[in-house]
């Protein structure tokens, strides 16, 4: 394959280093902040399987992205572990030269069964979403009555399969799971795993987001400081979204993702590919650019590469820096469609 290699840089000087690939729009959870049941009910029309990018198509696009500077790929969804044979996709991607970081975000519900196969296929890192250790709170947040014990079993299985420094994502919603902040930190410090507390975001247009529901990162930090004592630590990469901290007693690290109160658009180097091949240049985009059609029309790698360069070149997104009461109401792409 001959893909012209060059680093893609957008109109704000931001390189393209990070790609999130959604492998399905389906999920077995109905987290109230992401896929509220009232919208994603029985009648909701998910994509037909023929609409999804095949593993061959995903690999081909991944190679083109990597030739343009992408170093990190995160597989996501919907719930990525619902995609049959996901370990085969992992093996294909893990074998691509130039990809330094391959990871996956999952709700953990199927991880106990799949952790070993994913690890054996070459997956290097994993993030598990877990909003509470309190079973009642967790069941209410996933809204399908899924028990927290099974997600914890998934994390154990991942650990046993050799995944280290597992990241645990917790979306904090005012009045719902604030009490889980200290609980989660206590449970995972000393294990080598890293909990990341995420401000609840106005993604999509179905979750009824209100600024009042956001617990600011500063408040999360105050709670953890009061309980354990914490110190900031230096970021690894400029484009890292989480601010990193360590517990004062040296028992480990945690992160805080302040996407609402301290936006990080200036360093945003992420593209997102939906499961049917639409490329989104921002988490809050209203439209995506179709890459599946050119693939299926038989366009060459060089033609698709040129399309990608064109899309990234004009990118000017900085939604979070410009967020206003009006933009919050725009019909944005759903998080479950592009995977966060």
Residues that bind ligand SF4 in the complex, under the rule CB under 6 A: 27, 29-31, 34-35, 77-79, 107, 129, 263-265, 268, 282-284, 317-320, 336
CA distances from 326 to 1, 67, 199, 202 (A): 46, 38, 20, 12
Indicate which of ligand SF4, ligand SAM, none lies near residue 194 (CB less than 5 to 8 Å, by partner kind). Answer: none
Secondary structure E strands in the chain: 18-22, 72-76, 101-106, 127-129, 167-172, 194-199, 230-233, 243-247, 253-257, 270-273, 278-280, 289-290
Q: Which residue's CB is nearer to ligand SF4, number 174 or number 318?
A: 318
Q: Please report how close the Cβ of residue 73 comes to ligand SAM at its closest, in angstroms.
A: 14
Does residue 305 contact residue 68 with C-beta atoms inside 8 Å?
yes
Indicate which of ligand SF4, ligand SAM, none lies near residue 265 (CB less than 5 to 8 Å, by partner kind). Answer: ligand SF4
Binding site for ligand SAM (CB under 6 A): 27, 33-34, 76-77, 79, 105-107, 129, 169, 171, 198, 200-201, 203, 207, 335-336, 339-340
Indicate which of ligand SAM, ligand SF4, none lies near residue 268 (CB less than 5 to 8 Å, by partner kind). Answer: ligand SF4
Residue 28: partners with Cβ closer than 8 Å, 6 or more residues away: 79, 82, 107, 109, 110, 144, 146
Q: Please report how close the Cβ of residue 185 comes to ligand SF4 at its closest, in angstroms.
A: 21
Calpha distance 4→94 (Å, rounded): 21
Indicate which of ligand SAM, ligand SF4, none lies near residue 247 (CB less than 5 to 8 Å, by partner kind). Answer: none
Q: Please report how close the Cβ of residue 64 comes to ligand SF4 at its closest, in angstroms.
A: 21
Q: Tokens standing for 172?
A: 């904090």
Q: Which residue's CB is nearer to ligand SAM, number 10 or number 274?
A: 274
Q: Please report how close the Cβ of residue 204 comes to ligand SAM at its closest, in angstroms.
A: 7
Q: Long-range contact list for 239-243, CB < 8 A, 24+ apart?
A: 239/17, 239/18, 239/267, 239/268, 239/269, 239/270, 242/196, 243/217
Calpha distance 102→123 (Å, rounded): 6
Indicate which of ligand SF4, ligand SAM, none lies near residue 252 (CB less than 5 to 8 Å, by partner kind). Answer: none
Residue 256, SS3?
Answer: strand
Q: Tokens standing for 136?
A: 């009642």
Q: Which residue's CB is nearer to ligand SF4, number 78 or number 252?
A: 78
Indicate which of ligand SF4, ligand SAM, none lies near residue 201 (CB less than 5 to 8 Å, by partner kind). Answer: ligand SAM
Q: Which residue's CB is nearer to ligand SF4, number 122 or number 263?
A: 263
Q: Please report how close the Cβ of residue 263 comes to ligand SF4 at its closest, in angstroms.
A: 6
Which residue lies nearest ligand SAM, judged by its C-beta?
Answer: 340
Residue 147, phi then psi, degrees to nearest 5: -75, 140
Indicate which of ligand SF4, ligand SAM, none lies near residue 106 (CB less than 5 to 8 Å, by partner kind). Answer: ligand SAM
């Amino acid at each position: 394959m001959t893909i012209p290699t060059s680093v893609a840089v957008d109109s704000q000087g931001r390189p393209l280093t990070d790609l999130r690939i959604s492998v399905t729009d389906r999920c077995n959870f109905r987290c109230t902040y992401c896929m509220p049941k009232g919208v994603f009910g029985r009648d909701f029309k998910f994509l037909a399987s023929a609409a999804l990018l095949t593993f061959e198509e995903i690999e081909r696009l991944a190679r083109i992205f990597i030739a343009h500077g992408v170093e990190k790929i995160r597989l996501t969804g919907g719930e990525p572990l619902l995609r049959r044979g996901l370990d085969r996709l992992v093996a294909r991607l893990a074998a691509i030269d130039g990809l330094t970081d391959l990871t996956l975000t999952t709700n953990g519900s199927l991880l106990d069964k799949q952790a070993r196969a994913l690890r054996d296929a070459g997956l290097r890192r994993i993030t598990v979403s877990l909003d509470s250790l309190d079973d009642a709170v967790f069941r209410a947040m996933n809204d399908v009555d899924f028990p927290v014990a099974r997600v914890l079993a998934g994390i154990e299985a991942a650990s046993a399969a050799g995944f280290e420094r597992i990241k645990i994502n917790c979306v904090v919603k005012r009045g719902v799971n604030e009490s889980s902040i200290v609980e989660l930190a206590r449970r995972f410090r000393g294990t080598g795993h890293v909990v990341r507390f995420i401000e609840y975001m106005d993604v999509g247009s179905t979750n009824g987001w209100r600024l009042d529901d956001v617990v600011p990162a500063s408040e999360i930090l105050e709670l953890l400081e009061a309980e354990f004592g914490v110190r900031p630590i230096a970021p690894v990469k400029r484009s890292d979204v989480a601010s990193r901290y360590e517990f004062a007693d040296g028992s480990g690290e945690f992160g805080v993702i302040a996407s609402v109160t301290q936006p990080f658009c200036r360093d945003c180097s992420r593209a997102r590919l939906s499961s049917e091949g639409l490329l989104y240049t921002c988490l809050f985009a209203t439209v995506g650019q179709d890459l599946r059609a050119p693939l299926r029309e038989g366009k060459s790698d060089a033609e698709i590469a040129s399309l990608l360069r064109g899309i990234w070149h004009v990118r000017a997104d900085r939604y979070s820096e410009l967020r206003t009461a009006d933009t919050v109401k725009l019909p944005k792409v759903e998080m479950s469609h592009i995977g966060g």
